[in-house]
Amino acid sequence: MSPSQPTGDTPQAAKDKATVLSVDAMGGDKGPATVVAGLWRFLSDTPDATAILHGRASELTPLIASHAHAGRVTIRDAEDIVSMSDKPSQVLRHGKATSMWSAIEAVRAGEASVCVSCGNTGALMAISMLRLRKADGVNRPAIACLWPSLNPQGFNIMLDAGADIRADEDDLLTYAMMGTSYARNGLGLARPRVGLMNVGTEEHKGRAELKVAHNLIARAAVIGEYDYVGFVEGNDLPSDRVDVIVTDGFTGNVALKTGEGTASLISTLMRRSLKQSVSAMIGAVFAKRALGKFSKQIDPRGVNGGVFLGLNKTVVKSHGSADEKGVAAALALAYRLGQTGFSEKLAARVATAAALAQDTSEDDATGEKQGQA
């Protein structure tokens, strides 16, 4: 199952305009052939999209030369590659000739709407922050991921998934606003439900900054056009109680990796169980359709693509180990966001959060002075 097409505030002009994606072909674990195969799959399903493909022209040219969609792809030669072991600081100093830097630069220059890379997450975030800059009012950008859920849209959004391990109350309010914008433009939800991750749903639980963030997010619900459900717990991540889950990057990344590991464990144990006896194998034949649907719902390749939120442009980070299907899913997500003018709408949401946080600080300061008087 894939996310539904955006509705509501998607401008028709943006829908009608061809969207150009900037694709880092060299960053994934499986090499450029897999990225190009995913690109062909995506372009076959999306006739009005085009792409700028960044990487070594000597390797990329043979991969696209005779393909039916070759005319919709432009190769941008970049000889160097950012490896998964490279430190972000090292890439910032010496990475200008890499395919990742080139892919970001095309978005910065306005040649493409969205950048997609399977490469080193830390390096991608570092280059993105340097070249695209943080949106006004954003202290810490966040990575938003799609989490399979019981909701009609099939997914919930969780952020931050690991861009920064810290987050104070103002950051969490900004995450709520950014997650709402993503839910509206990426999943087509007119009025998303937002929850704040905590160790319990009771208002007295949690760290001090969570309690302050709880009040800030609740107060912003009207102007943010979302419904705040309050504190949520880890078991709400796949539930139908909430659409957007807000948390810090440390908690979010641990939850994400735990969820991926659990999904892999379930799939492995199920395959083993179905091979343990003749009767189990016969039952699997009769249940093949239902098992296939279940496998598709928990398949991480179908929700591949974490979105960097809080930048002046949009960047989608695909899993480094993504196969052809996973790359195509990340490109499809990037395309949907590019079609909606997502980065501009996100900036407006962030400005609203910044104004509210400032108003709250001033109100608190006034209250303290009155109390002292």
E strands present in 123-253: 142-148, 155-159, 193-197, 227-232, 244-246
Compute φ and ψ for 308, nearest 5 degrees: -80, 115
CA angle, 370 as apex, 368 and 371 as ends, to 5°?
65
- Residue 110's H or E segment, with its range, is none
**How far apart are the C-alpha atoms of 357 and 311, rounded to whole Å?**
19
In tens digits, the chain (373 residues) has pLDDT values of 334 333 334 444 444 457 899 999 998 888 999 999 999 999 999 999 999 999 999 999 999 987 888 899 999 999 999 999 999 999 999 999 999 999 999 999 999 999 999 999 999 999 999 999 998 888 889 999 888 888 988 889 999 888 888 899 999 999 999 999 899 888 889 999 999 999 988 888 888 899 999 999 999 898 888 999 999 999 999 999 999 999 999 999 898 888 878 777 877 787 778 777 777 677 666 666 665 655 555 554 555 678 999 999 999 999 888 889 889 999 999 998 898 888 888 877 777 766 666 655 555 544 444 444 4
CA distance 114 to 131: 14
The conformation of residue 25, written as its DSSP 8-state character, comes to S
Contact 252, 175 (CB under 8 A): no
pLDDT at 286: 65
Please, what are the domains in the chain? Answer: 13-133+311-340 (3.40.718.10), 148-303 (3.40.718.10)
**Max Cα–Cα distance, the chain, nearest Å:** 82
| Region for 154 from its dihedrals, namely left if φ exceeds 0, alpha if ψ lies in -120 to 50, beta otherwise | left
So what's the pLDDT on residue 319?
Answer: 84
Structure tokens at 219: 């107060």
